[in-house]
Structure 1
Amino acid sequence: MVTAMKYLARFWILGLLCLPLLLLLACSDQPDAREDNAPADAQPARVSVMTVQPQTVTIYDELPGRVSALRTAEIRAQVNGIIQKKLFEEGAVVDADTPLFQIDPAPFAADVDAASAVLARTEAELANAKVKFDRAKLLSAQKITSEEAFNNATAAFAQAKASAAEARANLARRKLELSYATIRSPIKGRIGQSFMSEGGLASSAATNALAVVQQIDQVYVDVRQSSMTMEALRETATGLGTDNPEELPVKIKTIAGKPYSKTGRILFSDISVDGATGSLGIRILVPNPEEQLLPGMFIRAMVPREVYSGALLVPQEAVTRDPAGSPQLTIVTAEKTGLQRSVELGPLVDGKYLVKSGLAAGETIVVLGQGRVESGKPIETSPMQASPQTQS
């Protein structure tokens, strides 16, 4: 009995020792699940691409500026008097020589009448003096009157002519004052607020204007630019086909930051540099037919700084960075595979980078889907859909 139990124990021990071997053999007989479930060949990555073409690109300096009217006329009285009428509507457009205010003309009309009477008297005296002069001249020629009498007649005649001339000038002055009683606009433009109404006393010595007329169909935009850019401005003019910086087109952004429909041109730059800021003043003339730009408004002027001929522009989203932070583009090769290439970038122009080096004209780049591109792997390309961009 004891012997049988010993053999049974040995059998169990032998079975336990063989169990791992049996399990290993069983596993080796099972087919490889990974081989059964292996995917078919990966599909080519789908990306959006564009072909880069050279173009002329102008780089602008965006400068803050202030609008001022082309011409400004302060309406002032040239004679003293009580204002009887205001002859305009505030905010209206007035032509040159349009009546704006009427000062009581009665005192000036009375002065004109008085001056006319004085002129009539002096002309009568002149006529009488002339008759006496002619008689004295005749008698003097016949040796009938004395030389002294002739000289007296000559002096009286000259004095009468001077008195008549003085009276005539005084009458002209009085008529001028009468005309000044009607205050007129010296220029065509838009008139603003009236600072005096009917019944007010207009004075030629007053410090405040009665109203202001401004011509704003064209306006000035005054900006300041670093004096160091003046040489670059001349080079930019040469790049755009002119030797005169004043012929450079200047883009304008409105107070809301939107592009203005008209372009301006540079009129002049200051001949002296601001010692505190090292900047020069630049005046820009801008057409303003719809009067969208108003005097005193702050806007931004895009002054040309550099011109690149044959420049290559790529969208911002096409540029990626390597682990070191250097910019790179994904180039589509002739074999329809992707190739990462380092490039040197220039300034950002309307949401696109200017590529200085590392890219050739006519090459195709990946704009969207760079993350799906593997080096040497085939890719499926589709043209990048152009999206409207805001001009600046």
Structure 2
Amino acid sequence: MTSPSYMIKPAAALLMLGLALTACGKKEGGAGGGMGGGGPTEVGVVVVASEPVNLTAELSGRTSAYLVSDVRPQVGGIVKARYFTEGGYVKAGQSLYQIDSAPFQAEYASAQAQVAQAEANLTSSRLKAERYAELVKINAVSKQDNDDAQAAYAQARATVATAKAGLQTAGISLNYTKVLAPISGRIGKSNVTPGALVTASQAVELAKIQNIDSIYLDINQSVNELMNLKRRAASGQIGEAATADVELILEDGSVYPLKGKLQFSDVSVDEATGTVTLRALFPNPNGVLLPGMYAKARIVSGVVGNGILVPQPAVTRDPKGNALVMVVSKDNKAEQRQIKVAQTVGDKWLVTEGLQPGDKVIVEGLQKVRPDAPVKASTLTATKEGQKPADASAEKPAEQKAK
């Protein structure tokens, strides 16, 4: 029985449409190796290796002068003159102020007179004691008179010693009327002017001298961090720091060009802050660092003997916050692996668990791959411009030669 013609035409149309869709599908499928294609995805990888890695910590602190001296008067009186320029450099022993010396000169002269008088009495007592010592031998004087003469002579010697000590004290006070710089360094503003009355060891200093040829940085480290480092060192996870070098980071983020040395770690914990004070000393030949500046210190707190470093872009996080990387398996497939990271070291993560030396970690093309998907890996090396294929430099001359 022959079918009607109106039923043949729709069937033919559907057949033609199906053939067209099949042809398009084959064309798109054979176009390349995307996520929907059959070919492997090209990715860039780094081959991780173990190496000694320094564990660093950035701790904040304040700078202070290497030497500081508050200049105070040792005697009281009227300031007659000032001999330095405020803000200038002074040398140890340089005269800074002159206090009115007239009263002290008078005391010194009086002490000199007392010494002369005591020495005159000493001469008389000595001669008398010597005569009586001879006369008592022939019973020309009594033993009592001789004993009195010898005692008077001893007393005269003591009087001379007392007078000389008084003269020395008067001389010291007279010298103190010249206020000298105890250390070399830069001197600040003067708190007194000529004509001011000062007293011995007064609370307010006349001026302050600071030596900033070298400068201290006092930094604070949490006692919890310190104890954690000690526990890890005791368990063998990390080694002790092999260097005492310290880098200084200024408040604007720039790094001070000269490295310092860690001087000491305090033996007590600040009860208010729960921190331990560390002190580092930095050379300051050009006077760039000033006392009281806020800065950070980058110190080496320990060494991981077999550390593995991975570029930061290769590490992602799951919803729970676990660190993940994609590695290339032996059968050239992408494999998702959970790792543990300790801290950043420059532009890399320090991996403590989850990777082994020789693993190929995917750095480029992470957005194009899925777990268990086939991949084609190209090894990358770090350059100034970024991550590039390790064999790129070898391929370029060959292309030029072919041209």
TM-score of the two chains, using structure 1 as the length reference: 0.79
Inter-partner Cα distance in structure 1 for 2:339 and 2:322:
9
**1:226 maps onto 2:222 in alignment:** yes
- TM-superposition CA deviations, 1:345-381 (whole Å, max 9, x none): 2123223212222222133322222223462133455
Alignment match of 2:62 (pick from 54, 59, 66): 66
* Residues 239 and 303 in structure 2, CA contact (< 8 A), matched pair in contact too: no
Alignment match of 1:348 (pick from 343, 348, 357): 343
Alignment match of 1:101 (pick from 97, 101, 112): 97
* Equivalent in the alignment of 1:267: 264
| More off after superposition, 109-118 vs 56-65 | 56-65
**1:42 maps onto 2:32 in alignment:** yes
Inter-partner Cα distance in structure 2 for 1:285 and 1:28:
80
* Equivalent in the alignment of 1:284: 279
Q: CA 1:325–1:42 in structure 2 vs 1: closer, same or farther (change >3 Å)?
A: farther
* Equivalent in the alignment of 2:138: 142
* Residues 264 and 280 in structure 2, CA contact (< 8 A), matched pair in contact too: yes
SS in 2 for 1:156: helix
- Aligned-pair distance for 1:338? 5.0
Counterpart mapping for 1:155-194 below 5 A: 155-194=151-190
| More off after superposition, 62-71 vs 116-125 | 62-71
* Equivalent in the alignment of 1:3: none
* Residues 325 and 339 in structure 2, CA contact (< 8 A), matched pair in contact too: no
* Equivalent in the alignment of 1:214: 210
- TM-superposition CA deviations, 1:82-141 (whole Å, max 9, x none): 222322233334333232222233332232222222212221221122222222222222
* Residues 121 and 156 in structure 2, CA contact (< 8 A), matched pair in contact too: yes
Alignment match of 1:385 (pick from 363, 383, 386): 383
AA aligned to 2:10 is: P
Inter-partner Cα distance in structure 2 for 1:309 and 1:54:
8
Q: CA 1:145–1:246 in structure 2 vs 1: closer, same or farther (change >3 Å)?
A: farther
Q: CA 1:236–1:249 in structure 2 vs 1: closer, same or farther (change >3 Å)?
A: farther
Inter-partner Cα distance in structure 2 for 1:99 and 1:153:
50
Unaligned runs of 5+ in 1: 1-13
- TM-superposition CA deviations, 1:235-293 (whole Å, max 9, x none): 57777866xx997554433233333432332513233561x55x243231322333444
AA aligned to 2:185 is: G
Inter-partner Cα distance in structure 1 for 2:99 and 2:124:
40
TM-score of the two chains, using structure 2 as the length reference: 0.77
Question: What do you get for the CA RMSD once the two structures are aligned?
Answer: 3.5
Inter-partner Cα distance in structure 2 for 1:30 and 1:52:
49
* Residues 45 and 378 in structure 2, CA contact (< 8 A), matched pair in contact too: no
Q: CA 1:214–1:247 in structure 2 vs 1: closer, same or farther (change >3 Å)?
A: farther
| More off after superposition, 70-79 vs 143-152 | 143-152
SS in 2 for 1:63: strand
* Residues 327 and 345 in structure 1, CA contact (< 8 A), matched pair in contact too: yes
- Aligned-pair distance for 1:171? 1.0
SS in 1 for 2:116: helix
| More off after superposition, 123-132 vs 362-371 | 362-371
| More off after superposition, 313-322 vs 167-176 | 313-322
Q: CA 1:343–1:292 in structure 2 vs 1: closer, same or farther (change >3 Å)?
A: farther
| More off after superposition, 294-303 vs 39-48 | 39-48
Q: Which has the larger radius of gyration?
A: 1
**1:120 maps onto 2:116 in alignment:** yes
Q: CA 1:384–1:295 in structure 2 vs 1: closer, same or farther (change >3 Å)?
A: closer
Q: CA 1:202–1:253 in structure 2 vs 1: closer, same or farther (change >3 Å)?
A: same
AA aligned to 1:197 is: T
* Residues 342 and 352 in structure 2, CA contact (< 8 A), matched pair in contact too: no
- Aligned-pair distance for 1:165? 1.5
Q: CA 1:348–1:133 in structure 2 vs 1: closer, same or farther (change >3 Å)?
A: same
* Residues 78 and 204 in structure 1, CA contact (< 8 A), matched pair in contact too: yes
Inter-partner Cα distance in structure 1 for 2:304 and 2:115:
76
- Aligned-pair distance for 1:38? 4.7
- TM-superposition CA deviations, 1:66-90 (whole Å, max 9, x none): 3333432211100112222322233
Percent of aligned positions that are identical: 31
Unaligned runs of 5+ in 2: 34-39, 387-403
Q: CA 1:318–1:184 in structure 2 vs 1: closer, same or farther (change >3 Å)?
A: same
SS in 2 for 1:343: strand
Inter-partner Cα distance in structure 2 for 1:342 and 1:23:
52
- Aligned-pair distance for 1:173? 0.9
* Residues 105 and 178 in structure 1, CA contact (< 8 A), matched pair in contact too: yes
Q: CA 1:54–1:91 in structure 2 vs 1: closer, same or farther (change >3 Å)?
A: farther
AA aligned to 1:376 is: P
Q: How many residues align?
A: 371
- Aligned-pair distance for 1:176? 0.7
- Aligned-pair distance for 1:23? 4.4
- Aligned-pair distance for 1:60? 3.6
